[in-house]
Amino acid sequence: MKLKVTDNQQLDNKEIIKVFNNIKISFNETIKNEEKKEFLITLSDFVCNDLIRRGNLINNRKNILRPLSPHLPIYKPQLTSTFPIYHRISGAFLATLVLFFYLLCLKIGLICFTYENFYQFFFFSSKLILISVGITALALSYHLYNGVRHLLTDFSGFIFQCFRIGRS
């Protein structure tokens, strides 16, 4: 049986499904190999769905069967997607830090670093300052090394394509 789809032809979905169910029955009767049988049945399902979609497109765009797009929670994080995200986060953190100290120097002036109370407040107040300096150093080093790695892979061509990205 041949089923031809043209732009002028109105397709009935039940007829298409009936034709392909007959094809499945003939596959089951003639083919003994189970792998080939499964492949041909899934292929006929795919073609059947494609023809149904075409028929619906011809019938004034009614009931178009479209696959749902996958959403972000179903993807597992990969190294190639997490490196740029962390690179942007570290860059935003460093830019915010530089902007804060720039605005602080504009507001108070450079003379503020000579005041003893200001110096004690910012540099000797608690261990929170040591933690923030450590986080800033880690963010700066990560941002610097990841930026250099990114530039090397962009401009080197074939050299860094051989290495895995997980080694950086």
3-state secondary structure of 67: coil
- The pLDDT assigned to 87 comes to 92
Q: What's residue 35's pLDDT?
A: 54
Regarding whether 32 and 52 lie in a shared domain, the answer is: yes
Q: Could you say which of 67, 89, 111 is where a domain stops?
A: 67
Q: Which residues fall within 8 angstroms of residue 44, CB to CB, at 6 or more apart?
A: 20, 23, 24, 27
Q: Which domain holds residue 129?
A: 73-167
pLDDT at 79 (0 to 100)? 80
In this prediction, residue 104 carries a pLDDT of 78
Q: What tokens does 12 get?
A: 């009935």
Query: So what's the pLDDT on residue 57?
Result: 46
The alpha-helical segments, DSSP class H, found in the chain are 13-30, 34-58, 79-108, 116-123, 127-156
Specify the number of domains making up the chain: 2
Among 18, 50, 67, residue at a domain's last position: 67
Low-confidence ranges of the chain (pLDDT < 50): 1-3, 5-9, 56-60
CA nearest to 5, candidates 53, 45, 43: 53
**Pair 84, 112 in one domain:** yes
